Amino acid sequence: MRSALLTFVVLISMLGTLPGCTKDAPTTPDPTPKKYAVKGTVTPKASEVVDGIAIAMGTRTATTSSTGAYSFNDVDTGRYVVTPTKTGFTFAPNSKNVRVTASDVTDVDFVATGAVLPTHLVPEMIAIEPGTFMMGGVTGQPSGENARPQHQVTITKGYFIGKTEVTQKQYMSVTGKNPSFHKGDSVPVHGTSALEAMDYCNKLSLLEGLNPCYVISDTVFSWDRNANGYRLPTDAEWEYAARAGTTDNTYDGAIDGRNPSVVLDRIAWYVYNASSGPPYDGSKAKPKAVGLKKSNAWGLFDVLGNVRELTYGRIEKYSTDPLTDPISDPSVDNIILRGSFFRIDASGITITIRELYHMNLADDSVGFRIARNR
């Protein structure tokens, strides 16, 4: 009996050592430790550009996408410091402490303060060199009122002038409004008074970090000649730039006032190509997008036709005396328009035409291009 009991105990002991015969059997450890991800986003405080920001974490670096997102993959468990950097930027917070234990770490986020994308548009400018020219009407060619006698003018200082008339999109990007009757992003802005055009110049100057040229109070204004901001070209600067070294009554040959005009068809919007006539009476004419016609030798577009352009000056009778850097201050009821416009026929589209205008008026035929001191 005792022998049988001993045999039974030995058998039970042997069965306990067989695989699968006990719930306490040891497990094989995983030889590969788990790795995790660390993710986050850099968001702009205003409208900063948040792509290309360098993110450092230990010895590793990542770069943000166009949305500011970044990630580190295959990260070992442990403690890390995550730090964003980009020249000209500051970040809140400066860095973050991250602990990686048993899961991905997300929302390691930062706010970036730095370079903001400009929301305003600056008209392209052309550099004009100093020089001497004959200003006023050419004998034997249509020239318009207030354009004689022809006389010598010397411009001693170079300046910048707009490649085109200020467009509606450019104007709206600075002022937040578009008073134009004939809408179109690339169509010249119109329906602005001379004072509103000056105010646009001041606002654009401030946005560009320049000194405003005008002091404006109701209908009283003055021009700081030394300011480096944007302004209207003077009457003489406008004609000198429009001529671009030519001597006829347009910058691409002479016109005799006959309609339609082969010369004007190349370079200007006037009633015979800005209208859906016949009849070509101007009632169906509209201003067109800038830059579609042939430019002058300096690369300026639409100095003739399209919309009349405000210049800084007043209508005064010319003399034959030679002048140097002539400037006449406009008054509320006397400011000069240049270039004529889309409702006029060939008899009234010349470089020499000067029209008197009231500074408080706002007409669908009147726009402007800007200038700057060099």
Could you report the per-residue pLDDT of 15-53, keeping only the tens digit for each? 444 444 445 555 555 567 899 999 999 999 988 889 999
- Take residue 45 and report the two structure tokens written for it: 């405080």
Neighbouring CB atoms inside 10 A of 241's CB total: 23
In the β-sheet with 308-311, what is the strand arrangement from edge to edge? 354-357, 335-338, 308-311, 366-367
CA 142 to chain centroid, in Å, comes to: 38
For each of the domains in the chain, give its residue range(s) and CATH number, in order of start.
36-113 (2.60.40.10), 125-373 (3.90.1580.10)
What tens-digit pLDDT sequence spans the chain (374 residues)? 444 444 444 444 444 444 444 455 555 555 678 999 999 999 999 888 899 999 999 999 999 998 999 999 999 999 999 999 998 899 999 999 999 999 999 999 999 998 776 689 999 999 999 999 999 998 899 998 899 999 999 999 999 999 999 999 999 999 999 999 999 999 999 999 999 999 999 999 999 999 999 999 887 899 999 999 999 999 999 999 999 999 999 999 999 999 999 999 999 999 999 998 788 888 999 999 999 999 999 999 999 999 999 999 999 999 999 999 999 999 999 999 999 999 999 999 999 999 999 999 999 999 999 999 99
For 60-68, which contacts have Cβ atoms below 8 Å and span 24 or more sequence positions? 67/41, 68/41, 68/42, 68/43, 68/44, 68/112
Q: What is the pLDDT of residues 190-244, one digit of tens each?
A: 999 999 999 999 999 999 999 999 999 887 899 999 999 999 999 999 999 999 9
Report whether 326 contacts 317 (CB < 8 A).
Answer: no
